[in-house]
Structure 1
Amino acid sequence: MPLSQLLWQHARREAPLECVGVLGGVQGADWEARVYVPLTNVDPLPSARYQADPAELLGTLRRWRGQSLELVGIFHSHPRGPAEPSERDRQWAAYPVPYLIADLRTEQLGAWWLPQGGTAEVTQV
C-alpha cells in the first residue's frame, strides 16, 4: 500500500483527534520515505495538538538504525484544518526534516520545514 494511503488512513482513524507518526527512509540528494509508523498522541489536548509518545518514538528510531533507515519526515493531522503549521507546531519542532500536515476538512497535505516555516516539496509519499 502506498505510504500516502497509510497516512490518510491513520488521520481518518484518529479523527476528531490529531494523529502523529514518523516516516523512515534514506536521506541523500533526494530524500526517500520507505516506511510509516503511527505513534500514540499523548498530548493532554489531542483534539487540538499532538505530542508523540517519547518511548514509541525512541524505540522506532532505534529499530530503524539497525535497518539503515533514518527519520525523513514527521506527520500529523489537523482534523479541522488547515494543512499549515500552528504556532505550537513551530515552537515544538525538533527535527531537521519535513513536517507533513494533513487537513482532513479539505483533504490537502502540506509539507513544511519547521520551525522556520518554509514549505517543503514532497513529490511522492
Structure 2
Amino acid sequence: MNLKLHPEHLQIINNHAESTYPEECCGIMLGHMAEDSKTLITVIPTENAWNQEAVNFTVEAQSTKRRYAIAPAFMLQMQREARNRNLSIIGIYHSHPDHPAIPSEWDRLYAWPEYSYIIVSVENGKAGKLQSWSLDENHQFQLETIEHINLTILS
C-alpha cells in the first residue's frame, strides 16, 4: 500500500507530537482511498482520550505516555464530516515518546484493517523517524510507502 501526502501534513503531525511530549499524541487522517493507495487531504489533531478506568481490559497500569485513544463521539463526528466532504477516514496517527516508530502489540490488536497508521518517534521532545503501517490479511502490520505529493494534486 502507498500513502500519498504533502510534507505539510508531516509537519502538522510532528508539531503535534512534540507539543504533547512526553504523552502520546493522536489524530485522524481524512482523504481518498483507492485500490492500491490512499491520498491524505486533511490531518485533524485530537485530544488523547485514553483513560485506564474506562477500559475493560486487564493490562498493567498504563497512561497517555504509553497509550492513546480517540473519543468515540469525536470519531463519529469526523466520519460525518468526512462523508459531508466526500472524503473517508483513511487512518490514524500517533506518537511513540522515547520509543521507535514501530507498532506495539497493543497498536496491532486495536487496529482496523482499512486504515493507515502513521507512528512518529519522539526522542527527548524532538520528532524523529516517522513511518506508516497497515494491516495485512493476517492482521499483521506491514510498512507502507510514503509518497510526497504537491498540494495542487490534492485540490
- TM (normalized to structure 2)? 0.75
5+ unaligned residues in a row in structure 2: which ranges?
Answer: 1-6, 52-62, 150-155
Cα deviations by residue, 1:47-77 (Å, 9 ceiling, x for unpaired): 1111111111110111110000111221000
- Quick one: percent identity of the two aligned structures? 30
Greater relative contact order (CA < 8 Å, ≥ 6 in sequence):
2
C-alpha distance in structure 2 between counterparts of 1:80 and 1:48, whole Å? 10
Cα deviations by residue, 1:16-64 (Å, 9 ceiling, x for unpaired): 1001101111112432101001111111310111111111111011111
* Equivalent pair of 2:118/2:130 in contact (CA under 8 Å): yes
Are 2:88 and 1:70 aligned? yes
* Residue in structure 2 matched with residue 14 of structure 1 by the alignment: 20
C-alpha distance in structure 2 between counterparts of 1:18 and 1:95, whole Å? 22
> Residue 95 of structure 1: CA displacement?
4.5
1:1-125 alignment, distance < 5 Å:
2-28=8-34, 29-44=36-51, 45-105=63-123, 107-114=128-135, 115-124=139-148
* Equivalent pair of 2:113/2:134 in contact (CA under 8 Å): no
5+ unaligned residues in a row in structure 1: which ranges?
Answer: none
Q: Which moved more, 1:7-16 or 1:106-115?
A: 106-115
C-alpha distance in structure 1 between counterparts of 2:88 and 2:148, whole Å? 17
C-alpha distance in structure 2 between counterparts of 1:124 and 1:95, whole Å? 23
Flag the structure with larger Rg. 2
- Given residue 124 of structure 1, which amino acid in structure 2 is its aligned partner? H
Partner of 2:146: helix, strand, or coil?
Answer: coil
- TM (normalized to structure 1)? 0.92
Partner of 1:22: helix, strand, or coil?
Answer: strand
Cα deviations by residue, 1:79-120 (Å, 9 ceiling, x for unpaired): 111100011000111241111100012700011113411111
- Given residue 113 of structure 1, which amino acid in structure 2 is its aligned partner? S
Task: Count the aligned residue pairs.
Answer: 125
1:24–1:117: structure 2 CA closer, same or farther, 3 Å change rule?
same
